[in-house]
Structure 1
Amino acid sequence: MRKLKLIVSGRVQGVGFRWSVYYLALEIGDIYGRVWNNEDGTVTILVQSENSEKLSHFIHEIRKGPSRMSKVTYLDATLANFSDYDDFQVSHR
């Protein structure tokens, strides 16, 4: 299971970005995790998958900006260690 923590910067709050990430994860399938807004204007995504191709596709789509109003200017992806998820949810941290 590959697990990553993504920090996304740009126009990613107030534009439906988190929900677009949620629907993208459902559309691709086999993508699990959480997405939430941060106080500094960034968005955090904890994501995991057994399928590296699907995970790479997910990250590629996030870089493009999954919602029409969003604009991703920076994406930082790091390996992470967190409890396994069995779904994908929008969180409120």
Structure 2
Amino acid sequence: MLLHIVFAGTVQGVGFRYFVKNKAEKFGVKGFVRNLPDGTVEVMAEGDEEILRRFMEEIENGPPLAEVTGLRYEFIDKDGGFSSFEIQY
């Protein structure tokens, strides 16, 4: 199962990607996190649906310096083929 999330707000330059990577490692989730040119942050995570839901709950507000003003997410019923969780630049 894949979980795709796009975070909006003050989400770049506040340690958001490192925060998400640490949570992903805690939950054993694979995939990636990256900044997008429009100032949002994209997360693509792969794992069991229940684990992905718990992972999303932990990251939905971001790290302390972030201010998430919106997020869009969807669950996709397929495998992503990820071997680890990485920060993409």
TM-score (normalizing by structure 1): 0.85
Over the matched positions of the two proteins, sequence identity in percent amounts to 33
Structure 2 gap ranges (5+): none
Contact in 1 for aligned 2:32/2:44 (Cα 8 Å): yes
CA RMSD across the alignment: 1.5
The runs of at least 4 consecutive aligned structure 1 residues that moved more than 3 Å come to: 79-83
Q: Structure 1 residue 39 and structure 2 residue 12: aligned?
A: no
For residues 1-93 of structure 1, the aligned pairs below 5 Å read 2-29=1-28, 31-49=29-47, 51-65=48-62, 67-80=63-76, 83-92=80-89
The structural deviation recorded for 1:5 is 1.5
Q: 2:67 and 2:73 mapped to 1: Cα distance?
A: 17
Shift of 1:82: 6.8
What CA distance in whole angstroms lies between the structure 2 residues aligned with 1:88 and 1:62? 15
Structure 1: runs of 5+ lacking an equivalent: none
Counterpart amino acid of residue 46 in structure 1: M
CA 24–40 in structure 1, closer or farther in 2 if over 3 Å, else same:
same
CA drift of 1:24 comes to 0.6
